[in-house]
Chain A
Amino acid sequence: MDVKANIENPFPGEVHPTPTGGVLVTAIDDVINWARSNSLWPLVFGTSCCAIEMMSTASAKYDWSRFGFEVARATPRQADVIIIAGTIVNKMAPVLKRLYDQMADPKYVIAMGACATSGGPFFYNTYSVVKGADHVIPVDVYIAGCPPRPEALLHALITLQKKIKSGLTREQIRMAKPE
Chain B
Amino acid sequence: MTNDELKIKLSELVPTIAFEEAAVQAIPPGWLNVSVEPKDWHGFAKSLRYQPELSFDYLFCETCVDWKTHLTMVYHLESTQHRHIIVIKSKLDRNKSDIETVSDIWKTAEFHEREVYELFGVNFLNHPDLRLLILPEGWEGRNPLRKDFEDPVNVVKL
Contact = CB atoms under 8 A, between A and B. Distances in A.
B154 A90 contact: yes
A127 B154 contact: yes
A34 interface: no
B156 A124 contact: yes
A131 B156 contact: yes
A126 B154 contact: yes
B151 interface: yes
Nearest to B150: A127
Contacts of B156: 123-125, 131
A127 B151 contact: yes
Interface string B125-158: 0000000001010000000100001010011111
Interface in A121-156: 123-128, 131
Interface residues of B, number: 10
A91 interface: yes
Main SS of chain B's interface residues?
Answer: loop
A155 B128 CA distance: 53
Main SS of chain A's interface residues?
Answer: loop
Nearest to B142: A127
A90 B136 CA distance: 9
A119 to B, nearest CB: 8
B143 to A, nearest CB: 11
A132 to B, nearest CB: 12
Interface in A47-74: none
B6 to A, nearest CB: 39
Interface in B38-86: none
A125 B154 contact: no
Contacts of A131: 156
Nearest to B134: A91
Contacts of A126: 154-155
Q: Considering the complex of A and B, which 10 residue pairs feature the smallest CB-CB distances, nearest first? A: A124-B158, A127-B151, A127-B154, A127-B144, A124-B156, A127-B155, A91-B136, A125-B158, A125-B155, A123-B156
Given A126-B155, A127-B154, 9 more contacts: A90-B136, A90-B154, A123-B156, A124-B158, A125-B156, A125-B157, A127-B144, A128-B144, A131-B156
Interface of B: 134, 136, 144, 149, 151, 154-158
Interface of A: 90-91, 123-128, 131
